Amino acid sequence: MNLVLPDVSFAPMLPLLLVLAGAIVSTLGGFWLPRRTLTALNVVFLLASGASLVWLWGAGADVPRSAFAGALRADPAALLLGGTVLLGALLTLLVSLDTAYRARVSFAEFDALLMYAVTGCLLIAFSGDLIVMLIGLEIMSLASYVLTTFQDSRRAEESGLKYFLLGSVGSAILIYGLAFLYGATGTLNYAGIAQQVSVLEPANLGVLVAGTLLVLAGFGFKIALVPFHQWTPDVYSGAPTLVSLFLSTVVKVAAFAGMLRVFGGALAAGPGWHAVLQVLVALTLLIGNAAALYQQNFKRLLAYSAVAHTGFLAMTLLGDTAQGGAALGYYLLVYTLMTVAALAIVAALQRTEEGLSVNDLRGLYYRHPAYAAALAVCLASLAGLPPFAGFFAKYLAFQVAFESGYVVVSLLAVLSSVAALVYYLRPAMLMFMPDRTPAREYAHGQRPATTFAVALSLIGIVVLGLLPNLWYGWVAPPEIWRLLAGT
C-alpha cells in the first residue's frame, strides 16, 4: 500500500502564517506584555506578511503557487486582494494606538481577535475551493462578532448581538447554498465547478441555480447588499468606531474577494445570478443613498454610505471577469483608503462612541483645521468628485456595467452619485462655516499614529486620483483575473 503524502507547500501559506503568528503572540503575550507593545509587534507581523506577498509576486516558477491539492492558491489575484486586506488591517492598528484606550478596547484580546480575523480574511482571498473559503469566512465572522461587543456598553452589546444573529442566518444560507452546489457539480473545487457548469445535465440545472442564489444571498449578508443590509447601520453606529473602521474596510474587502472567487471564477458561466444581482444592485443604490440623506448621526451616515458603495462595488461583478476583477481590485483599495481616513478622524475627535452628529461638524475647520481639510477630501472622494481617486473608481464600475449591457443599472448609479453629493457635501460645507458654540469634539492632544494613518490614506486618495495607473496598472492585466477559478 502506497502512502500518499498531503500536498503541503509553505510558500503560498507564508502570508497567512505570519499573520497567524501575530495572533498567537497576542493571545499568549497578553499575560505579560503591554498592549501597545503587542500592537507594535503585530504591525511588524503585518509588514512581514506584506513583504511575503511582494516576494511571492516576484518569485519564479520554482516557488509553489498552491497547497493542499489546489485548496489554497497564491495566485496574482490573491496577492493583490491580500495586500489590500493587510493595508486596511495595518491602518486599523495604527489608529488603535491613539484611540483604543478612550474607546475602552485597549487590551491584548482586541489585537489577538483582530489578527485572527485578518487570518480568516486572507484565507478567503487565497481559497481554491468552497471549504477553505467557508473556513476563512467563519474565522473572520466569529472574530468580528466578538470585536463588536468588546466595549463595555449596552450599545456595543446590542450591535454585537444583532451582528451575530443576522450573520449566523447569512452563514446558514451560504452553507445550504454550498451543499446545493456540491450536489449539482459533485465537486467543491473552483476549477472543478467551472468545468462542470458548462456540461451540466438538465436534471442538475435547477439544483445549481438554487445553490447559486442561496450563495448569493449568503454573501449579500456579508457585504450588506439590500435587502440583507439591516444589520449594517446599527452595527456600524453601535460598535466602537475603531471596530466599525475594521468591519467597513478589511471585512468588506475579504467578503468581496470571496464573492469574486465564486462568481467571477467558479460560477462565471452559471445561469440566473446575473439578473438577480442586477436587481439587488439597483435596490442597494437606491436605498443606501436615500437612507443616507436623512441621517443626522455622522457614523450612521457613513454606514449607509458603505451600503451605497456596496452597490457600486457589486456592479463590477456584472461584467466580464477580467474587466470586472480589475475594476473591483482598484475600487477596493480606494474605498479602504477613503473609509479608513474618514472613520479615523471621527475616532480621534468624538467625545463618546455615539459619534458626532452632522451639525457637530459645524466650524470644525476653526478648531482642527488639518482634520477638517482631510475629512473634506475624504467626503469629496467618497462622492466621486475629481481629481480624487473615488472618481476613477466609480468610473470603472460604471464602465464595466455599461459595456456589459446593464444600461439601466449604470444610469441609476450615475443618478445615485448625483444624489450622494447632497449628504457628502453638507457636512463638508458645515466644517468651514463659522460656529460660535463651544467645541463639541474631544479636546485631544497629539495623535501621531492616527495622523500618520490619515496622511497615508490622503496621499493615496490624491495620488491615485491624479495617477490612477499607479495601482490600476497592477490590477488591469486580464490574465490575473482569468485564473480565479484555478484553471
Please report, as a single letter, which amino acid is at residue 71.
A
Spatial neighbors of 243 by CB under 8 A, at least 6 apart, are 105, 147, 148, 150, 151
Smallest Cα–Cα separation from 413: which of 318, 321, 261, 308? 308
Q: What is the pLDDT of residue 444?
A: 56
Give, as one character, the DSSP assignment of residue 186.
S
Residue 192 in grid coordinates? 472543478
Residue 440 pLDDT more than 90?
Answer: no
Cell 477613503, residue located: 338
pLDDT band of 438, cuts 50, 70, 90 = low
66-70, 309-313, 468-472 — which is least confidently predicted?
Answer: 66-70
For residue 225, the model assigns a pLDDT of 92
Residues near 20 by beta carbon (within 8 Å), at least 6 away in sequence: 115, 116, 119
* pLDDT tens digits for range 419-436: 888 889 888 888 888 875
CB-CB contact of 336 with 88 (8 Å): yes
Residue 137 has pLDDT above 90, yes or no: yes
- Given a cut of 60, is residue 338 above it in pLDDT? yes
Strand partners, 357: 297
Do the Cβ atoms of 355 and 348 come closer than 8 Å?
no
CA distances from 1 to 4, 26, 192, 273 (A): 9, 44, 28, 46
Element of type H or E holding 73: strand 72-73
Helices then strands, each counted (H, E), the chain: 21, 2
Percent of the chain surpassing pLDDT 90: 46
CB 38 within 8 Å of CB 134: no
Whole-model pTM: value is 0.93
Q: What is the pLDDT of residue 60?
A: 62
Nearest to 291 by CA among 308, 272, 274, 315: 308
457 confidence band (pLDDT: 50, 70, 90): very high
Closest CA to 69 of 225, 188, 244, 246: 188
**So what's the pLDDT on residue 206?**
85
Whether the ω angle into residue 227 lies within 30 degrees of 0, i.e. cis, is yes
**Quick one: DSSP state of residue 63?**
S
- Identify the pLDDT of residue 446: 62
Cα–Cα dist 262/110, whole Å: 31
Per-residue confidence band for 458, with pLDDT thresholds at 50, 70 and 90 = very high
Question: What pLDDT is recorded for position 16?
Answer: 93
Q: Shortest CA distance to 222 belongs to which of 250, 246, 256, 249?
A: 256
What whole-number percentage of the chain has pLDDT above 70?
A: 92
Check: CB of residue 284 under 8 Å from CB of residue 150: no
Return the CA Rg of the chain: 22
User: Is the pLDDT score of 279 beyond 90?
Assistant: yes
Residue of higher predicted confidence among 484 and 224: 224
pLDDT tens for 225-274 read: 988 888 888 888 888 888 889 999 999 999 999 999 999 888 888 888 99
Cβ neighbours, 10 Å, residue 456: 17
User: What would the pLDDT profile of 34-79 be if each residue is shown by its tens digit?
Assistant: 888 888 999 999 999 999 999 998 876 557 678 888 888 888 899 9
Region of residue 355 (left: phi > 0; alpha: psi -120 to 50; beta: else): left
Residue 352 has pLDDT above 80, yes or no: no
Which residue, 319, 314, 307, is CA-closest to 382? Answer: 307
Q: What is the pLDDT of residue 62?
A: 59
What is the C-alpha separation between 313 and 328, in angstroms, rounded?
6
Give whole-number Cα distances, 274 to 85, 162, 280, 314, 401, in Å. 26, 29, 10, 11, 11
Q: Does residue 478 contact residue 77 with C-beta atoms inside 8 Å?
A: no
Task: State residue 409's pLDDT score.
Answer: 92
The sign one gets for the Cα dihedral 195, 483, 266, 73 is: positive
Would you place residue 131 in the very low, low, confident or very high pLDDT band (cuts 50, 70, 90)? Answer: very high
Give the per-residue pLDDT at 271.
Answer: 84
Using 50, 70 and 90 to split pLDDT, how confident is the model at 353? low
Phi, psi angle pair for 129, to nearest 5°: -150, 175
What is the pLDDT at residue 366?
84
Cβ 346 vs Cβ 427: under 8 Å? no
Q: Out of 298-307, 334-343, 362-371, 438-447, which region has the weakest mean confidence (pLDDT)?
A: 438-447
Total count of residues recorded for the chain: 487
The set of residues, in sequence order, having a beta carbon less than 8 Å from that of 329 and lying 6+ positions away, is: 77, 80, 81, 84, 475
Supply the pLDDT for residue 461.
95
134 φψ region: left (φ > 0), alpha (ψ -120 to 50), beta (else): alpha
Mean pLDDT over each residue of the chain, to the nearest integer:
87
Position 376 scores a pLDDT of: 93
State the Cα–Cα distance between residues 258 and 41, nearest whole angstrom: 28
Looking at 13-22, 47-56, 364-373, which range is the least confident one?
364-373
> Is the distance from CB of 146 to CB of 239 less than 8 angstroms?
no
Q: What is the rounded distance in angstroms from the CA atom of residue 25 to the CA atom of residue 115?
A: 10
Question: Which of these ranges, 93-97, 301-305, 446-450, has the smallest mean pLDDT?
Answer: 446-450
pLDDT bucket at 445, cuts 50 / 70 / 90: low
Task: Tell me what pLDDT residue 441 has.
Answer: 58
What's the mean pLDDT in 334-359?
Answer: 84
Q: Any alpha helices (H) in 239-368, and if so which ranges?
A: 241-246, 252-261, 273-292, 298-315, 321-349, 364-367
| Torsion sign (Cα): 453, 454, 455, 460 | positive
- Does the structure show a pLDDT above 80 at 194? yes
Output the pLDDT for position 204: 78
SS3 of 197, please?
A: helix
